[in-house]
Amino acid sequence: MGLTFFKNTVLLVVLTIFSCGSSNEKSPLTPKGGNEDGRPMTDDGTSTSLSDQDIIVGAEQFQLYSELLKGKNVGVVANQTSFLENENQHLVDFLISKNIIIKKVFAPEHGFRGTADAGEHVKDGVDSKTGVPLISLYGNNKKPSQEQLKGIDVVVFDIQDVGARFYTYISTLHYVMEACAELGIPVIVLDRPNPNGHYIDGPIMEPENESFVGMHPIPVVHGMTIGEYAAMINGEGWLNNKEKDWSQKKDVCDLTIIGMKNYTHETQYSLPIKPSPNLPNDQAINLYPSLCFFEGTFINAGRGTDMQFQVFGAPSLPASKYTFEYTPQSNEGSKDPKFKGQLCHGKDLRKEPRLSKINLEWLIDAYNANGKKKDFFNSFFVKLAGTKKLQQQIEQGLSAEKIRDSWKDGLDSFQKVREKYLLYP
């Protein structure tokens, strides 16, 4: 029954995806406001400049979700990545220009404009451009309250994810879906590409290590878009509601996914806007699932530089082996980085080839090269890894290959679950 419900909730997106025939083929679905091949149109009725090969994200397909918003009081979960390139507008500004009633904007970690440090408290307020109230979904208020959702008829979620379990936007997605399910408020997810969607890797999170940087039993790299992931949250019953009755669709999020066109999981996608202050470019995003483990150690992962998640180092790493040098300083997104003002010896990964698996060698080598192994890991490492085993395996001297072998069964099981929710090849 769960799968039946899932199919119903994503019928719209499936139609959208299968409507993307070749450029010489008339689309079986011609949405209102679009041309024959389903591409959005400008206000004067002409086709946009998008080519048949361009990825068209969910937000760009207003004709597919406009009727779900008209006359409704809308809440939007958004940040700086909620941008319509073809319109050259932020989603909130665009919806207001289309006379959609935006009652509140809910902002995740790093805030609505995306400038706050990782872990920094983000305050509620008012958007200076639109006058719309802003509600922070970070810090002590990770889940929208009943009072905050009062008067909201539908919630739109449009945030760019990077495909790693510990990147907290998918945790915000969970809490938004859960709060809306409890109040019977529909959620519309506007899908966007996963820049690390071409692979799946890492240990599976164990329930005892659940936290805001890991809420579900998935690997570090899950290989799903934000829309696919929303469907998995719903379909696997991960919302912490009191009871789940699939046949009655109670305590399950009323979910609609507006899918993309011209996207596959192998598509290399360059993010037009950095998703957070410390992921400034494609290289950082690709290295992030591997280098974020250093956040659970005393090693600096490039915070306090303009090479965030592209270098790593520490003053205590031997300069003879780690010949790259840098000195972290306060900057946007990292006001107080590790080893601020201190010379770090490390490794420069800015020209590293694109990864299709997690690199454990960098972590293992840094651990072995450090003179004080007992001080290498901190308590955050287990939360990032989702298991105590990874730290134990490194301390026991296991090779990267042996550690990767221990992930195989968990990854195989996850693949089977993931398959049910994939919307793209």
* pLDDT at residue 396, rounded to an integer: 97
Largest CA-CA distance found in the chain, in angstroms, rounded: 67
Q: What is the pLDDT of residues 217-235, one digit of tens each?
A: 999 999 999 999 999 999 9
Boundary of a domain, candidates 272, 306, 333: 272
Alpha helix stretches (DSSP H) within 107-168? none
Q: Determine, yes or no, domain membership for 16.
A: no
Give residue-wise pLDDT tens across range 269-283: 999 999 999 999 999
Residue 358 placed within a domain: yes
Among 272, 301, 327, the domain-final residue is 272
Co-location of 160 and 255 in the same domain: yes
Residue 9 pLDDT greater than 60, yes or no: no
**Pair 328, 303: CB distance under 8 Å:** yes
pLDDT band at 110 (very low <50, low <70, confident <90, very high): low
Q: CA-CA-CA-CA torsion for 415, 416, 421, 423, nearest 10 degrees?
A: 60
pLDDT band per the 50, 70, 90 thresholds, residue 371: confident
Residue 4 lies in a domain: no
Q: Which ranges of 98-187 does DSSP label H, i.e. alpha helix? A: 169-183
Establish if 361 belongs to a structural domain.
yes
Please check whether residues 242 and 368 belong to one and the same domain: no
Range of the domain at 221: 55-272
> What is the pLDDT confidence band of residue 240, given thresholds at 50, 70 and 90?
confident
Q: Say yes or no: 106 and 209 in one domain.
A: yes
pLDDT tens across 49-83, in order? Answer: 445 579 999 999 999 999 999 999 999 999 999 99
Indicate if 60 and 186 belong to the same structural domain.
Answer: yes
Residues 149, 170, single domain; the answer is yes
Residue finishing a domain among 235, 252, 272: 272
What's the pLDDT score for residue 52?
A: 58
CA distances from 115 to 78, 122, 274, 322, 334 (A): 13, 10, 11, 31, 10
- Give domain status of residue 32, yes or no: no
- Asked if the model's pLDDT at residue 16 lies above 90, the reply is no
Q: Which pLDDT value is given to residue 130?
A: 84
Mean pLDDT of the chain: 86
What's the structural domain count of the chain? 2
The answer to whether position 31 is within a domain reads no
* Of 8-12, 333-337, 351-355, 402-406, the least confident: 8-12
> Which stretches of 29-126 are DSSP H helices?
62-69, 91-97
Global confidence as pTM:
0.85
* Token pair in block for residue 47: 């086709």
Asked whether residue 148 falls in the same domain as residue 226, the answer is yes
Handedness of CA 21, 26, 30, 33 (dihedral sign): positive
Q: Are residues 341 and 231 in the same domain?
A: no
pLDDT at 10: 46
The CATH number that applies at residue 158 is 3.40.50.12170
Per-residue tokens: 194: 């996963």
- Looking at the DSSP bridge assignments, the partners of residue 134 are 105, 125
Handedness of CA 147, 243, 167, 397 (dihedral sign): positive
Instruction: For residue 129, tell me if it sits in a domain.
Output: yes
pLDDT tens digits, one per residue of 312-332: 999 999 999 999 999 999 998
Which burial class, exposed, middle or buried, applies to 402 when counting CB atoms under 10 A from its CB (0-12, 13-18, 19+)? exposed
Hey, what's the torsion of the CAs at 50, 46, 15, 262, to 10 degrees? Answer: -10
Residues 104, 178 within the same domain:
yes
If asked whether residues 171 and 255 sit together in one domain, one would say yes
Closest C-alpha to 242, from 252, 234, 227, 233? 252
- Give the single-character DSSP code of 206: P
Looking at the structure, tell me whether residues 174 and 215 fall in a common domain: yes
Are 265 and 286 found together in one domain?
no
Pick from 263, 316, 367: nearest CA to 17: 263
242 lies in a domain?
Answer: yes
148 and 259 share one domain = yes
